[in-house]
Amino acid sequence: MTDPAPAPWYGRTHWRILAALVVGLVYGVVAALAGWSEFTADWITPWGTIFLRLLLLIAVPLVLGSLITGVASLADLRRLSRIGSRTIAIYLATTFVALVIGLALVNSIQPGASIPEDVRTRLQEQYESDVEDRQATAAEVAERSPLQPLVDMVPDNALFAATRNREMLSVVFLAFLLGVALLRLPRAQAQPLLDLFSSLNASIIKIVEMILVVAPVGVFALIAGTITTVSGDDPANVAQIIGALGLYSLTVLAGLLLHAGVTYPTLLALFTRIGPVTFFRGISQAQLVAFSTSSSAATLPVTMRAAERNLGVSEEVASFVLPLGATINMDGTAVYMAVAAVFIAQTLGIPLDFAAQATIVFTALLASIGTAAVPSAGLVMLIIVLEAIGVPSEGLALILGVDRLLDMCRTATNVTGDAAVAAAITAGERSAPPGGPAGAAGGAGGGA
């Protein structure tokens, strides 16, 4: 489970990434103080963008390759439906718990009650135009028929589907369909495509290893760029925003910590023998990449690698459960949606009764599933939750200032949840009746 022969600390990628993250934070603050935002935007941020693009570049081939081989390797449709239904049930259950945690915290802490009138007006004015953009996007989403998400999931053009990171669910669908078809074909006929996709898979994993070598540079640049963008050339901006939105941010963070620190270890204790320390150490590299990229899709290759190497997640489970999780399982986003929706209502003085809170649970559950695994996607979907409970979506302006920073934290929680569920499913499969994956233990190899 753990690294049998750990490399020296300076050689371990996650330490180097962590160091890069800290240096990026320090640089961001210094740059804001020294007025280097233009220099940073011209010369530092592009390296972060390149890193993010490299990761996104391999997201679609990885989902295709791993899901197709993953589904096809499940040997029969019964196992596929068993693993599939368990995975979806646990994903839904953990997201439900995340929403309940978010609602419990925001209702007891009441972060919106303490926002003074003038701060509220200023925040709303400052982000007015941004909100209009998001509203337009959300309006398009909301105007569609209730079954539209299902329609969107089925692409009408395979090549086109494979070109859109935002619509990963249609890639998942395509891969799933092809995987099932290969499963049902005579072996000899299926083999050429299986070989092709498993070789694609292996190449992508090699690319991930290469990208991880330069990850510290990318992480440094992403963090430095984010801090300078948020603060402009005036660190006082950050201080002001944090002052006004501190309690709200802390409520979201507390929810994320509680969910990651209690729900996942409980899940692991119920299904696996993995202790919290092993789990969090094993998944830390993926959390760091999620934190710096704010994208579960971009982090997927790293999550898969960490889950297989450090948590003993079997390859067949990882290649099925993790791409699906990166697309539909967003527990961090769910916590955030619950807290943000109630916070905005509190700030605007709109009371929410039990029925409204139940509506939040229902819509946020669906909205988190529909959230694309890319930066800020949760913010757009939050508008749908606000509309459902009759809170004006202009209220979004109140939280925009800290959203990017919270996005980093919720994305880290999102990928943690995917890994925890993958570990639980692997353990369940090991103890499954015959037909199960005899010794399909993932390699307990060295953590990077």
Both tokens of 136, joined, read 């337009």
Nearer to ligand ASP, 421 or 427 (CB): 421
Nearer to ligand ASP, 80 or 330 (CB): 330
Nearer to ligand ASP, 252 or 317 (CB): 252
Chain mean position to CA 358: 24
| Least distance between ligand ASP and beta carbon 95 (Å) | 12
| Least distance between ligand ASP and beta carbon 401 (Å) | 16
19, with CB counted inside 10 A (0-12, 13-18, 19+), is: middle
Whether the CA torsion 288, 292, 294, 298 is positive or negative: it is negative
Q: Which residues bind ligand ASP (CB under 6 A)?
A: 294-296, 330, 333, 371, 373-378, 407, 410-411, 414
Query: What is the residue whose two structure tokens read 């050429």?
Result: 192
Both tokens of 424, joined, read 């639980």
- Closest residue to ligand ASP, judged by C-beta, is 378
Nearer to ligand ASP, 284 or 295 (CB): 295
| Least distance between ligand ASP and beta carbon 413 (Å) | 9
| Least distance between ligand ASP and beta carbon 200 (Å) | 23
Q: Do the Cβ atoms of 337 and 360 come closer than 8 Å?
A: yes
| Least distance between ligand ASP and beta carbon 369 (Å) | 11
Angle at Cα 142 formed by Cα 171 and Cα 127, nearest 5°? 100
Nearer to ligand ASP, 215 or 340 (CB): 340
CA distance readout (Å), 366 to 42, 64, 202, 337, 388: 39, 24, 33, 11, 12
Buried residues in 119-139 as b, exposed as e (16+ CB within 10 A)? bbeebbeebeeebeebbeebe
CA distance readout (Å), 257 to 116, 262, 331, 410, 436: 28, 8, 11, 10, 34
Nearer to ligand ASP, 341 or 427 (CB): 341
Nearer to ligand ASP, 161 or 373 (CB): 373
Q: How many CB atoms lie under 10 A from the CB of residue 222?
A: 26
Residue 62 phi/psi, 5-degree rounding, is -70, -45
Nearer to ligand ASP, 178 or 335 (CB): 335
| Least distance between ligand ASP and beta carbon 175 (Å) | 19
| Least distance between ligand ASP and beta carbon 330 (Å) | 6
Q: How far apart are CA 328 and CA 443, in angstroms?
A: 26
| Least distance between ligand ASP and beta carbon 185 (Å) | 35
